């Protein structure tokens, strides 16, 4: 038998296995097998801000707008009490700040409720965005993140944070631009902060004050326009975003809920592996086409030759083995990419 169905059957899985092995070494754990194929189809990339576009390790810079009768320590202690047990980067920043000052959170008489994508409430106290609290944003540069503490009487204090861009961000944005992938920035943060960061890194499409439902609907609208959406996020608020996207990648240092619903997990701290993964996805498609072409050409030549009696059985056996080996070795090139 001179035909080699093995080469045809091996053409795709060998390339996919080799590509997934290569991206795992880069720091991207593939959870669902359609990721590499989907990246080739991606037309839009939707990014979260805090913890995804930025490092998600903001530091508390200052506390302003203190109400008369409240000291800096009073406001920080109250905010820390409300943020206890929360995993959002701004919450962790407040908790780090009170720990550094050797202070203790106050004891709250009411349970804390997480208003997803907005902030926290505890009795008459609320801690969250200016838009949610109905406040005017202060005059700080949009580079700075903000949360505000208020009660039924109005603003108690504003907390100002500074974050830094995530390493490898520009590599990812350049790779997306080279592929004509439209990049979007959606975040629950203040619109001015989101606008500043979008302009700072060169993202043309952005939206702030997004609830988890808003993020879900944002991707849904893109998909209704026929777009194939790739999303990256890290927090609990991003779980609907990742669930709705055609391909989703969770930043591994983020919330477990986000990672649980993602198609892949970025285990590295840099975004550069995602740029390399995008390039590997393209290369994998080239390898697959080469494998299929080789298998097709081999069978088109070998089968008629065998029917005409031009191929001895032992030659046919060697040919079959070499055809399968050629496909496997060609796919193996992806491991070294």
Specify burial of residue 300 (Cβ count, 10 A radius: 0-12, 13-18, 19+). exposed
> Which range (108-112, 208-212, 306-310) has the least confidence?
306-310
Identify the pLDDT of residue 246.
97
SS3 126: strand
CB-CB contact of 291 with 11 (8 Å): yes
At 314 the pLDDT is 44
Question: Quick one: 193 exposed, middle or buried, by C-beta within 10 A (0-12, 13-18, 19+)?
Answer: buried
Span 153-179, mean pLDDT? Answer: 94
Average pLDDT value for residue range 230-249: 91
- Spell out the alpha helix ranges (H) of 84-211: 89-100, 130-133, 169-178, 191-201
Compare 120 and 331 and report the one with higher pLDDT. Answer: 120
Mean pLDDT of all residues in 22-47 = 92
Query: With bands split at pLDDT 50, 70 and 90, how would you rate the model's confidence at 263?
Result: very high
Q: Is the pLDDT at 100 greater than 70, yes or no?
A: yes
Average pLDDT over residues 69-87: 93
Contact 46, 172 (CB under 8 A): no
Task: Please state, in angstroms and rounded to a whole number, the distance separating the CA atoms of residues 23 and 277.
Answer: 6
Q: What is the mean pLDDT of the chain?
A: 83
pLDDT band with cut points at 50, 70 and 90 for residue 85 = confident
More confident residue, 150 or 56: 150
Asked whether residue 337 carries a pLDDT value surpassing 60, the answer given is no
pLDDT tens-digit map of 270-324: 999 999 999 988 888 887 777 666 666 655 555 555 555 555 554 545 555 556 6
Mean pLDDT of 205-213: 92
Pick from 186-195, 213-222, 269-278: least confident: 186-195
Task: Quickly name the fold that domain 28-54+165-267 has.
Answer: Rossmann fold (3.40.50)
Q: Which pLDDT score, from 0 to 100, does residue 306 have? A: 52
Lowest mean pLDDT among 166-180, 227-241, 246-260: 246-260
pLDDT tens readout for residues 120-155: 999 999 999 888 898 876 656 677 888 999 999 999
**Which of 44, 48, 238, 263 is labelled catalytic?**
48
Domain residue limits, the chain: 1-27+274-337, 28-54+165-267, 59-162
Q: How many CA atoms lie within 13 A of 158 on its CB side?
A: 17
- The sign of the dihedral angle between the CA atoms of 8, 12, 15, 20 is negative
59-162 CATH: 3.40.1110.10
Report which listed range, 34-38, 54-58, 224-228, 325-329, is most confident.
224-228
Return the pLDDT at 334: 65
Looking at the predicted structure, is the pLDDT value of residue 51 above 90?
no
313-332 vs 272-307: helix crossing angle, rounded to 10? 170
Q: What's the pLDDT score for residue 257?
A: 63
Structure letter (DSSP) for residue 105: P
Q: What is the DSSP letter of 67?
A: P
- 151 belongs to the catalytic site: no
Rg over alpha carbons for the chain, rounded to the nearest Å, is: 26
Q: What is the rounded end-to-end Cα distance, in angstroms, of the chain? A: 35
Q: Quick check: 162 pLDDT over 50?
A: yes
How many angstroms from the chain centroid is the CA of residue 140? 28
- Does the pLDDT value for residue 95 go beyond 90? yes
pLDDT tops 50 at residue 211: yes
Task: Give me the mean pLDDT over the 55-61 stretch.
Answer: 87
Res 197 pLDDT > 50: yes
Q: How confident is the model at residue 39 (pLDDT cuts 50, 70, 90)?
A: very high
Between residues 32 and 181, the one the model is more confident about: 181
> What average pLDDT does the segment 162-184 reach?
94
Question: What does the pLDDT read at residue 4?
Answer: 45
Helix count and strand count (H, E) for the chain: 12, 13
* DSSP one-letter string for 14-82: HHHHHHHHHHHHHTEEE-STTHHHHHHH--EEEE-IIIIIB-S--EEEEEESPPTT--HHHHHHHHHHH
């Amino acid at each position: 038998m001179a035909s080699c169905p093995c080469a045809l059957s091996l053409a795709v899985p060998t390339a996919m296995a080799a590509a997934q092995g290569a991206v795992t070494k880069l720091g991207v754990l593939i959870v669902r097998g359609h990721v590499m194929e989907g990246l080739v189809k991606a037309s839009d990339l939707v990014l979260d801000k805090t913890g995804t576009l930025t490092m998600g390790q903001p530091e508390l810079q200052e506390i302003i707008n203190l109400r008369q009768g409240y000291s800096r320590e009073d406001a920080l202690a109250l905010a820390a009490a409300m943020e206890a047990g929360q995993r959002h980067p701004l919450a962790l920043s407040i908790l780090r700040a009170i720990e550094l000052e050797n202070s203790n959170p106050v004891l709250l008489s009411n349970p804390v409720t997480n208003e997803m994508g907005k902030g926290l409430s505890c009795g008459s106290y609320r801690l969250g965005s200016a838009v949610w609290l109905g406040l005017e944003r202060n005059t700080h540069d949009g580079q700075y993140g903000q949360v505000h503490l208020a009660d039924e009487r109005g603003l108690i204090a504003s907390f100002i944070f500074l974050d830094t861009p995530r390493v490898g961000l520009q590599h990812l944005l350049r790779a997306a631009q080279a592929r004509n992938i439209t990049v979007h920035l959606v975040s629950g943060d203040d619109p001015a902060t989101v606008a500043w960061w979008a302009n700072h890194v060169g993202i043309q499409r952005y939206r702030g004050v997004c609830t988890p439902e808003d993020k879900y609907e944002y991707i849904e609208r893109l998909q209704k326009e026929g777009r194939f959406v790739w999303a990256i996020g890290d927090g609990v608020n991003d779980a609907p975003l990742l669930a709705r996207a055609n391909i989703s990648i969770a930043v591994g240092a983020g919330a477990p809920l986000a990672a649980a619903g993602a198609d892949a997990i970025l285990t590295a701290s840099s975004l550069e592996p995602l740029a390399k993964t995008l390039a590997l996805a393209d290369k994998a498609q080239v390898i697959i086409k080469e494998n299929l072409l080789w298998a097709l050409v081999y069978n088109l030549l070998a089968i008629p030759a065998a029917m005409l009696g031009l191929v001895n059985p032992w030659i046919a056996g060697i040919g079959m083995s070499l055809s399968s080996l050629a496909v496997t070795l060609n796919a193996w090139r992806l491991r070294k990419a």
